[in-house]
Amino acid sequence: MATHLKAAACLWACASTADADGPARIASADLCADAYVLALADREDIAAVSWQAGQIVSGAPEWVIGLPRASGDAERLVALDPDLVVFGPSGAGRAAPFLDAAGIAHIALGWGEDWAVIESNLETLGDALGQSPRAATLVSELRDRREALRQRSDARPRRPSVFYLSVTGGAAGAETLVDAAIRTAGGINAAAEAGASGWLRADAEWAFRVDPDLIVTSYFVDGYVTRTDAGVRHSAFRRLLDGRPRLDVPAPAWSCAGPQLIDAAEQIADALDRLEPGS
């Protein structure tokens, strides 16, 4: 994965001589790409953000509202005439040959749901944007904030159990970004502790299989429009939620595995601190 990303970054750095510092017109094609581009690129260099920017699940600032919108549509991307298009882990797909034919460089973020991938994406995109020092600073800040959370966790008398419940009734086991946030905060992921791995579909039996100290919910009030809201309406999940400490993490913090994931971890850590007597 790392070799592929380094090669992709070279599409701009090795092919362009127009600007030694990096691309002057950057288009972000999806929500995950937005998170990284907005963290690393200079404001004046962002030519377009994704069609999801400005939606409730996006953490984009208000100033992006007036920018042109991009997606994976090749015709739209070519019309925007960017120097570089940044895609999330799903990549350029069918747009790739059209971008290549138009001489437009493109890069796809690496897929993964842990801190190593987030750091790798920051470093690789930083190289592609001519913002390596900024990327290095962000990586260092992420590590410092995670170390601060580790110290907070060590100061607690125990590691509380945490169960994640989405608006659809789904849960999150090991090897998910939710699991990474819970563990970084100093909690035990109840679903992972029960042997679950990956993203789990709605299953009301979880309401009887776990007895967590804290419920972490997401997308209950600020998520995608969905008709599947078992997490809110199913009586078993209501039983699990009633009378138990709960934290609703804002959707932008983990709509993808991006730099904002540390915000989710810190919010969970705050909620874990409040569980302790006298806090």
pLDDT tens track for 44-61: 999 999 999 988 888 899
pLDDT more than 90, % of the chain: 71
Q: For the packed helices 115-129 and 31-40, what is the interaxial angle rounded to 10 degrees?
A: 60
* pLDDT-derived band at 116, boundaries 50, 70, 90: very high
Using 50, 70 and 90 to split pLDDT, how confident is the model at 229?
A: low
Is the pLDDT reported for residue 231 higher than 50? no
What is d(CA 128, CA 16) in angstroms, rounded to the nearest whole number?
A: 11
Cβ count within 10 A of residue 223:
18
- Is the pLDDT score of 67 beyond 90? yes
- The reported pLDDT for the residue numbered 268 is 98
pLDDT score, position 220:
66
* Domain architecture of the chain: domains with CATH: 2-138 (3.40.50.1980), 159-275 (3.40.50.1980)
Q: Express as a percent the part of the chain with pLDDT over 70.
A: 86
pLDDT 10s digits, 80-106: 999 999 999 999 999 999 999 999 999
pLDDT at position 112 is 95
Q: Of all helices (H) and strands (E), which one includes residue 98? A: helix 96-101
pLDDT winner (highest mean) among 3-17, 19-33, 218-232? 19-33
Residue 230 has pLDDT above 50, yes or no: no
Cβ(239)–Cβ(94) under 8 Å?
Answer: no
| Residue-level pLDDT at 146 | 98
What does the pLDDT read at residue 197? 96
Distances (CA, A) of 64 to 50, 52, 54, 78, 196: 10, 11, 8, 20, 39
Closest CA to 106 of 21, 25, 191: 25
State the CB neighbour count (10 A cutoff) for residue 103: 10
pLDDT tier, 236 (very low <50, low <70, confident <90, very high otherwise): confident
- CB 144 within 8 Å of CB 157: no
Three-class secondary structure of residue 161 per DSSP = strand
pLDDT band at 255 (very low <50, low <70, confident <90, very high): confident
DSSP state of 110: P
For residue 8, pLDDT over 50 is answered with no
Closest CA to 239 of 208, 209, 216, 214: 208
Residue 226 has pLDDT above 70, yes or no: no
| Average pLDDT of the chain, as a whole number | 88
With H, G, I as helix, E, B as strand and everything else as coil, classify residue 215.
strand
- DSSP, collapsed to helix, strand or coil, labels residue 172 as strand
Q: What per-residue confidence (pLDDT) applies to 83?
A: 97
Of 17-26, 141-150, 169-178, give the range with the top mean pLDDT.
141-150
Q: What is the pTM of this model?
A: 0.87
- What are the pLDDT digits (tens) for 130-163? 999 999 999 999 999 999 999 999 999 999 999 9
Task: Work out the average pLDDT over 66-73.
Answer: 96
Q: Chain-centre distance of CA 106, in angstroms?
A: 20
Cα–Cα distances in angstroms (integers) from residue 148 to residues 152, 237, 243, 269, in the given order: 6, 33, 30, 10
pLDDT-derived band at 169, boundaries 50, 70, 90: confident
> For residue 193, which phi and psi values (nearest 5 degrees)?
-60, -30
